[in-house]
Amino acid sequence: MSEETRKKVVLRQVAARAGVSLGTASNVFAGRSGVSQKAREAVLKAADELGYHPAPRTPEPATKTLGFLLRSALEIPLPINQFYSYVLSGAEQACTERGLSLLYGTLDAETKSMTAMPAMIQRRQVDGLLVVGYFSTECFTLLRDTGIPFVMVDQSDAAFEVDSVVSDNERGGYLATTYLLQHVPHPIPAMIMGLPNRSSFYERWLGYRRALAEYSLPYDERYVCQVKSAAEEGYHAMKTLLDLPKPPNAIFCSNDQAAIGALNALHERGIAVPDECSIIGFDDIDMAAHTTPPLTTIRVDKALLGAEGVRLLLDRLAHPEMAARRTTISVKLIERESVSISKA
């Protein structure tokens, strides 16, 4: 057995004896941040009991490198994704201003294997991670076990005490639905929503529910279609809603891509927007201003999500013991031409 293999085996034994992950034990001996005092003491005690003596480490460079991790199976790939490309741009700008490097990697959002992690994680090339968008709870568990500090961006998970930065999704859903109910005569509301296991879509749905309750309107599951966020699925969801015995005339879509697909379905059926049916989106991607008619939507400051993620991550690296924080970015209603201007 080589000396390197022996060290890995012993370090694994140290981690097991201390009741921590291998990544956490490695971080203790590498002098990295993000390890609690209790875990650090347990690892050092276990190492002493087992007689483990790590080789002297070389000094780490002063300049920090952050990672930007996105799921590999985006409905729209990053180069043309009008949401996450701006989040990345905001993160890059924030890193440039601070003299930091930013590496980019992708990961299957449902992975359960540590070997599936991108090279920047397996080779420990980053000091911290921006974990952007949806990843499963199992995947977040793996990321936590690497011992690399991370911040969730555009996603939160109640199962983890981890820093996160998100848009004010619940308020955005409420604003969108309220705007429809205020302007559409005799509104029959409906929602085309992204999958509820994604916290941003679930919170937008909560805002939709709150608005219905304030207007004393019943919640009817038949008028809520769950889809992935692509335009094609918004198109099919809209057709399903139009086939109801009493079709809706006030549609809230939980993102603009779904709204664009819904608009196409309405045009195909010969239904005039907004005269016969009003529709509102969420995100304010570039394309939203160029649909027919231009799409009323809820604007998300996408670049600020990325920049704020960098700020939170640097705070975490500097203060590993502080309590987890959730930062909420405000949203704004953008009035265009896809919602009726009549008063209800």
| Residue (of 260, 200, 201, 202) closest to 233 by Cα position | 260
DSSP 65-85: EEEEEEES--SS-GGG-TTHH
Q: Which CATH number do you get for residue 157? A: 3.40.50.2300
240 and 161 assigned to the same domain:
no
Return the H-helix or E-strand segment holding 252. Answer: strand 250-253
Q: Is residue 162 part of a domain?
A: yes
Q: Is residue 2 part of a domain?
A: no
List CB contacts of 158: < 8 A, sequence separation 6 or more. none
Return the H-helix or E-strand segment holding 328. Answer: strand 326-329
Domain that holds residue 159: 65-167+302-330
227 and 284 assigned to the same domain:
yes
Q: Is residue 243 part of a domain?
A: yes
Instruction: Report pLDDT for 34.
Output: 67
d(CA 82, CA 297): 14
149: cis peptide before it, omega within 30°? no
Residue 49: CA count within 13 A, CB half-sphere? 12
118 and 187 assigned to the same domain:
no
120 and 149 assigned to the same domain:
yes
199 and 254 assigned to the same domain:
yes
202 and 216 assigned to the same domain:
yes
Instruction: Count the neighbouring beta carbons within 10 Å of the beta carbon of residue 31.
Output: 10
d(CA 270, CA 287): 22
Q: Is residue 228 part of a domain?
A: yes
What one-character DSSP code corresponds to residue 109? Answer: T
Provide the residue-wise pLDDT of the chain in tens; the chain has 344 residues.
Answer: 344 444 444 678 888 888 988 778 877 877 666 678 888 888 888 888 887 877 655 444 456 899 999 998 776 677 778 899 999 999 999 999 999 999 999 999 999 888 889 999 999 999 999 999 999 999 999 999 999 999 999 999 888 899 999 999 999 999 999 999 999 999 999 999 999 989 999 999 999 999 999 999 999 999 999 998 778 999 999 999 999 999 999 999 999 999 999 999 999 999 999 999 999 999 999 999 999 999 999 999 999 999 999 999 999 999 999 999 999 999 999 999 999 987 64
Specify whether the CB–CB gap between 114 and 328 falls below 8 A: no
Domain count, the chain: 3
Specify whether the CB–CB gap between 103 and 65 falls below 8 A: yes
Q: Is residue 237 part of a domain?
A: yes
Instruction: Report pLDDT for 56.
Output: 58
